[in-house]
Amino acid sequence: MNKTKRVLVVGSGIGGATAAYALAKAGLETHCIDIQPARSTLGSGICLLHNTMRALSEIGLADPCLDSGLRFEVFKQFDAAGNLLMSNPTPPGIGIRRPELARILETSASAAGAKMERGLTAKSVSDRGDCVEVEFSDGREAAYDLVVAADGAYSKLREQFFGAEHRVCFAGQSAWRFNAPRPPEVDGFCLYRSPDGKRTVGALPTSKETCYLFFLENSAQHLHWPDDQLDVLVRERLAGFSAPVIQDSLALITSPQQVLVRPFDVTLVPAPWHRGRVVLLGDSAHSPTPQMTSGGGMAIEDAVVLAQCLKAESSIPEALVAYTNRRFERVSTVWNASLQLCKYEQEAVPNPQRSAALLLQTYQYLGQPM
């Protein structure tokens, strides 16, 4: 197999859009499609840790994220009433609104020369050995040297090329999320714990003016809530948290659409992450629980490393082997730490100190080169 010239990236989420940008910048003819007709303007926030910012900096995208988001260097723990219990320095990261991050990544990919198309999916993908033939949902057909499956945790391409055994499974928690104006005390990653330690509310700045709050709920199975009741249900769940940050933010929720709920569905595909000319990237390869705030960061790092490997290696198989070799151990370490933290939070008697220690230890690990 010769060097890659034409690449199709399926999915323009955090991983796919970063890959489209990095691949186009590396000189590859890059086409990126997403099934959603438009980029969402809704969505909560996301934390980009120090290692993620370093990866974005390597490809020249850190500054626009810093301009839009808010830099922080502290991890704070409070009780449910909002009294500060502990404050630890962390390596610098940023919080940013998800729609802003998506805008930065997608417009940068377009500007770098990637062809970005929305409202489009791959109806069929056939690896012919010397190329991958793709039929699109609008009837067009094209051939590529490589297909990057960046279609998220519920990836159809993973199912087709890696089998059903890597489907996600439920990790026993779901997140409730909503945006709010940022009070001054939310100047870093903040956790508020209930007196029994069993319930946690988090707050993260997303700009000078805004922040987002999240609440983690344990359950044995996926829970199903009526969409038109989410505002009432989130208030019920947070009633025991009297911290002004939490109650003032809840008071501004006037419609159920302001509240997002998502189960933690996880998978970690064993190495290697390619079959022939189809390679997994981001959540399609490794969907973690969000405790390490690193799923998006790992997807960004994947994209940077994949582009480097395709540029450095002389054939596609060599590049794809090098890609998994550089990514698997690092991603697994973070994925395992996230899941461990999620399990700790579901224990009958949680131990916040032990969780904080694992969190900080894994932050340190992430400081190592990717």
Ligand X SMILES: Cc1cc2nc3c(=O)[nH]c(=O)nc-3n(C[C@H](O)[C@H](O)[C@H](O)COP(=O)(O)OP(=O)(O)OC[C@H]3O[C@@H](n4cnc5c(N)ncnc54)[C@H](O)[C@@H]3O)c2cc1C
CB contact set of 270 (below 8 Å; sequence gap of 6+) = none
362 binds ligand X (CB under 6 A): no
Q: How far is the CB of 204 from ligand X (least distance, A)?
A: 7
201 binds ligand X (CB under 6 A): no
Q: How far is the CB of 79 from ligand X (least distance, A)?
A: 23
Distances from the Cα of 226 to the Cα of 130, 223, 345, angstroms? 49, 10, 25
Copy the structure tokens of residue 107.
């417009």
**How many residues of this chain interact with ligand X, rule: CB under 6 A?**
29
Which parts of 219-278 interact with ligand X (CB under 6 A)?
262
Q: How far is the CB of 314 from ligand X (least distance, A)?
A: 28
Which parts of 43-82 interact with ligand X (CB under 6 A)?
46-47
11 binds ligand X (CB under 6 A): yes
198 binds ligand X (CB under 6 A): no
Which parts of 171-190 interact with ligand X (CB under 6 A)?
175
Please report the sign of the dihedral spanned by the C-alpha atoms of residue 162, residue 305, residue 328, residue 90.
negative
What DSSP element (H or E) covers 187? Answer: none
Q: How far is the CB of 32 from ligand X (least distance, A)?
A: 9
123 binds ligand X (CB under 6 A): no
In terms of CB distance, is 35 or 322 closer to ligand X? Answer: 35
Cα gap 255→320, rounded to integer Å: 46
Copy the structure tokens of residue 174.
């779901």
In terms of CB distance, is 283 or 345 closer to ligand X? Answer: 283
213 binds ligand X (CB under 6 A): no
350 binds ligand X (CB under 6 A): no
In terms of CB distance, is 47 or 310 closer to ligand X? Answer: 47
Q: Using the rule CB under 6 A, which residue among 33, 116, 230, 339 binds ligand X?
A: 33
Q: How far is the CB of 302 from ligand X (least distance, A)?
A: 8
Q: How many CB atoms lie within 10 A of CB 247?
A: 14
Copy the structure tokens of residue 8.
């199709």
Cα gap 165→267, rounded to integer Å: 10
Please report the sign of the dihedral spanned by the C-alpha atoms of residue 276, residue 282, residue 287, residue 292.
positive
Are 167 and 177 within 8 A, CB to CB?
no
Q: How far is the CB of 13 from ligand X (least distance, A)?
A: 2
Q: How many CB atoms lie within 10 A of CB 182?
A: 22
Q: Which of 268, 258, 205 is nearest to 232 (CA)?
A: 258
Q: First-to-last CA distance in the chain?
A: 27
Name the closest residue to ligand X (Cβ): 13
Return the percent helix, strand and coil in the chain, to nearest 5: 40, 30, 30
In terms of CB distance, is 3 or 88 closer to ligand X? Answer: 88
151 binds ligand X (CB under 6 A): yes
94 binds ligand X (CB under 6 A): no
Q: Are strands 210-218 and 200-205 parallel, antiparallel or unpaired?
A: antiparallel
Residues found near ligand X in the complex (CB under 6 A): 10-16, 33-36, 46-47, 121, 150-152, 156, 175, 262, 282-283, 290, 293-297, 299
